[in-house]
């Protein structure tokens, strides 16, 4: 627990039917996953896999460095 969407879902469930909230949250997860798959497939047709792995590695390292520098 801590992701903003999980906290929002928990808040909605407190004031609504839990099954309606569950259905909505499940459909949102399916929709966002479908979008990610389609975008990933489109990018994979344009960019070689090795370059995507390198770019992902660089992004993760940059995020790590930014998080380390941001801590006091």
Q: What gap in Å lies between CA 38 and CA 28, rounded to an integer?
A: 15
Query: Domain ranges in the chain?
Result: 4-70
pLDDT truncated to tens, each residue of the chain (72 aa)? Answer: 457 777 788 788 888 888 888 888 889 889 999 999 999 999 999 999 999 999 999 999 999 999 999 865
**Model pLDDT, residue 11:** 81
Between the alpha carbon of residue 21 and those of residues 2, 34, 47, 52, 62, the distances in Å are: 18, 20, 38, 36, 36
Between the alpha carbon of residue 10 and those of residues 1, 45, 49, 62, the distances in Å are: 9, 39, 38, 32
pTM of the model: 0.60
């Amino acid at each position: 627990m801590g992701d903003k969407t999980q906290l929002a879902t928990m808040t909605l469930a407190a004031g609504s039917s839990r099954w309606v909230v569950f259905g909505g949250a499940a459909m949102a997860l399916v929709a966002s996953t479908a979008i990610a798959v389609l975008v990933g497939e489109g990018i994979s047709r344009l960019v070689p896999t090795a370059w995507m792995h390198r770019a992902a590695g660089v992004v993760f390292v940059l995020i790590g460095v930014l998080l380390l520098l941001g801590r006091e």
